[in-house]
Amino acid sequence: MKLVVTSVVDTAGGVREITFAAPDGAELPGFVPGSHLVVTAGERTNAYSVTSDGVAPTHYSISVLRVAEGNGGSRWMHDRVSIGDVIDVESPRSAFAPAARAGKHLFFAGGIGVTPIVSHLRAARRWGRDVQVLYVFREGHAAHIDDVVDLAGRDAELFIDRESFAIRLAQVLADQPVGTHMYACGPVGMIDTVVESAAALGWPQSRIHVERFGADALEAGDRFAVRLTESSATLDIPSGTSVLEALEDHGMSIPNRCRQGVCGECRLPLSGGTPVHRDLYLTDEEKRAGDAFMPCVSRASEGCTLEVPL
Ligand code: FES
């Protein structure tokens, strides 16, 4: 859909808040907390967490961190977008939704990873859910700090150094009521720390929800293989090469648009193997089902083989 930019505000540490609305001011499709807005910015398509309220919305707000060495999408959003511009936007998609049956929602946010947490906190406030949030950021770079404090109140704890965050993280993970679900969004290192700490304390995988940043921050990954079951070919996927690139090098044409794991165009069925999903397109449920993956960003662990019916 085409939406008009109604507000552009530069906030802490290189973060720009951009708000979109329908040209006629009409209500927009609602969305669940943690949803992404897929925005086409120049030649790039990127996904951004929606930070505004998802119930009967008349606008969508996103916060974009300027990433100098990224794919150019964030620079475009910072340098080229002005109030009144009409931008191509797809309806928000859920990829990091709250667990319906959770007794409590525990959030860990790192840096700009606070953005999906803000929409979770808004919904939690609206529905009276029990929350706790730990937010770590670099001093002077605290996006949405007022929202976090306002929405979570005394259940918010703020950190400007990783050491005190890590100490508190271990305490908090060890002291949760049964039924708590945990959500983490932030840099790869922070997510790994949170997930490893939770696993060491015996948290079941089903109560751990993470959102890694987009392809701007993706690592090169392990070497693995893809077996094409229809054509009986096996492709080697070295570190730093995507499955999509390997398929193209093999002479296959796979539809794609963003090559960032956000648009959904390159989705492929999967008939075997366990992928490491790194996209922002498939829902948690689809990722758990394990019968599809996005070859532009998703991979497998070292030495594994994914089977694709091509
Ligand atoms: S090309 Fe957009 S998700 Fe893969």
- Domains defined along the chain, listed by start: 2-93 (2.40.30.10), 104-215 (3.40.50.80), 219-308 (3.10.20.30)
DSSP codes joined into one string, 56-107: S-S-EEEEEE--TTS-SHHHHHHHT--TT-EEEEEEEE-SSPPPTT-SEEEE
What size, in residues, is the chain? 310
* CB-CB contact of 201 with 176 (8 Å): no
For ligand 1, whether the C-beta of 130 sits within 6 Å is no
Please tell me the predicted confidence (pLDDT) of residue 40: 84
List the chain residues with pLDDT less than 50: 215
Q: How far is the CA of 261 from the centre of ligand 1 (A)?
A: 4
Closest ligand 1 atom to Cα of 266: 4
Residue whose token pair is 């929602």: 105
Task: Provide the pLDDT for residue 214.
Answer: 53
Atom of ligand 1 nearest to the CA of 255: 1
Which of 32, 165, 189, 48 lies closest to 107 in space, CA to CA? Answer: 165
How far away, in angstroms, is 278 Cα from ligand 1 center? 11
Measured in whole angstroms, the distance separating CA 193 from the mean position of its chain's CA atoms is: 17
Reported pTM: 0.80
| Distance (Å) from CA 7 to ligand 1 centroid | 28
Ligand 1 lined by 256 (C-beta under 6 Å): yes
At 215 the pLDDT is 47
Neighbouring C-beta atoms of residue 190, cutoff 10 Å: 22
Q: Ligand 1 center to residue 45 CA distance, Å?
A: 9
Nearest CA to ligand 1 atom 3: 261
Q: What is the pLDDT of residue 75?
A: 85
Which residue has tokens 């475009």? 76
Ligand 1 atom closest to 297 (CA) = 4
